Amino acid sequence: MKHPQLAMQRKRSLNSNSSSLKQEKLFNLERFFNLSPDILCIAGFDGYLKKVNPAFSNLLGYSEKELLQRPINDFIYEDDKSITSVLREKIKNNIPLLNFENRYVTKRGDIVWLSWTSISEKNDDLIYAVAKNITHIKKLEEERNLLLIDLAKLNADLKKFTYTTSHDLRSPVGNIISLFDLLDFSKIKDKETLEYLQLLRGVTFEMKATLDKYVDAITEDKKINIQVEKLNFQEILDNVCESIQELINKSETIIQVDFSKAETVEFSSFYLHSIFLNLISNSIKYAHSNRKPVVSIRTRKINNRIQLIFSDNGIGFDMKKAEGKIFGLNQSLHSKKESKGIGLYLVQSHLESLGGKINVKSKVNKGTTFTLSFRD
């Protein structure tokens, strides 16, 4: 038979252990509440905070006492009060709140963004909530949106400028063509003069065709839905060289070509003309004063991806100093007056708009190599 006094002592011991365990759990919960870097709080259905952790108090700059004495709405940014009140009513009806974002105003007047997850306990008329400070994310989003707005405006301005320039230039070019039509070439006896006039006439027609393409592309917004077709590199190069033949001859530029590894590519004729024209013109423009310009143009295939390699023996540039500026709009790498910082920007833009990419290597007084990779 068990002794009654012994049983009573064992029961008291169990109760004591249970009480100690509860106190330890409460202590650990309190430590978690106080040490958490996230915002933790308990709010009442009456719209007042009942308990806040130090992270909440530190973020807003109010003491715990100040936060508990005033309605929650006093701390919420004016434009967010209405939606917050609506969602608070839903929480009271046992509808959890997940990742709700609103703004609070700190004691200093700063605005902070918080992302909330909340649940209610109807028996106690309490709402338990945890929030993360996402102010830095919102600032990054705002900066990104401002950059996108600036980029859209810049793109619109560039489009307008290109359209205006191309449109306005067509009139004087048309007048030059009209003057050629009035000339009677049969009366010109000097063969060299006749040859130059015919060459000039051909270049003028080519200029008009190029201007028409620019205007049409911008007017019809072909940049978004550009026509892609199978193009022959040699044919495009010949067409471009014909349009700047006098520049090539005058500069005594030597153009070395090897398209044996890839003779054709699926691309835009309009864009590829522009790429060849800009890269060849740049090689001539930035030629070294002590040697004739040599431009090497060749193709190759890397993992079934066609690449076009442009190399020259020009003055080159310092890659470290030029970092971040090589393909930038209005970013010139040299002090020449005719440098406008548009050519390489267009080359990169044309290539990337159709899924390609461009890399560059250059050494001062040694030359520059551009590697253009077309989309598979």
The model's pLDDT over 349-367, given as tens digits with 9 standing for 90+, comes to: 889 888 899 999 999 999 9
Top-confidence residue, 320 or 363: 363
From 177, 161, 375, select the one nearest 266 (Cα to Cα): 375
Q: Which of 105-109, 127-131, 245-249 has the lowest mean pLDDT?
A: 245-249
pLDDT score at 223:
47
Q: What is the mean pLDDT of the chain?
A: 83
Whether the model pTM is above 0.75: no
Rounded CA gap, 262 and 264, in Å?
Answer: 6
Rounded CA gap, 258 and 220, in Å?
Answer: 35
pLDDT score at 151:
79
Q: How confident is the model at residue 337 (pLDDT cuts 50, 70, 90)?
A: very low
Is the pLDDT at 23 greater than 60, yes or no? Answer: no
Provide CATH code, domain 226-376. Answer: 3.30.565.10
pLDDT score at 363:
92
Q: 146 near 64, Cβ under 8 Å?
A: no
Q: Which of 20-29, 161-170, 192-201, 308-317 has the lowest mean pLDDT?
A: 20-29
Is the pLDDT at 143 greater than 90, yes or no? Answer: no
Q: How confident is the model at residue 219 (pLDDT cuts 50, 70, 90)?
A: low
Over residues 223-240, mean pLDDT = 84
Structure tokens belonging to residue 112: 């902070």
- Percent of the chain surpassing pLDDT 90: 44
pLDDT score at 222:
47
Over residues 212-235, mean pLDDT = 72
pLDDT score at 220:
57
Rounded CA gap, 99 and 114, in Å?
Answer: 9
pLDDT score at 217:
63
pLDDT score at 5:
60
Is the pLDDT at 322 greater than 90, yes or no? Answer: no
Rounded CA gap, 233 and 258, in Å?
Answer: 10
Straight-line distance from the first to the last Cα atom of the chain, in angstroms, rounded to the nearest whole number: 91
Q: Residues 149-194: pLDDT tens digits? A: 777 777 777 766 666 666 667 667 777 777 777 778 788 888 888 8
Top-confidence residue, 2 or 5: 5
Query: Is CATH 3.30.450.20 the right assignment for the domain spanning 36-133?
Result: yes
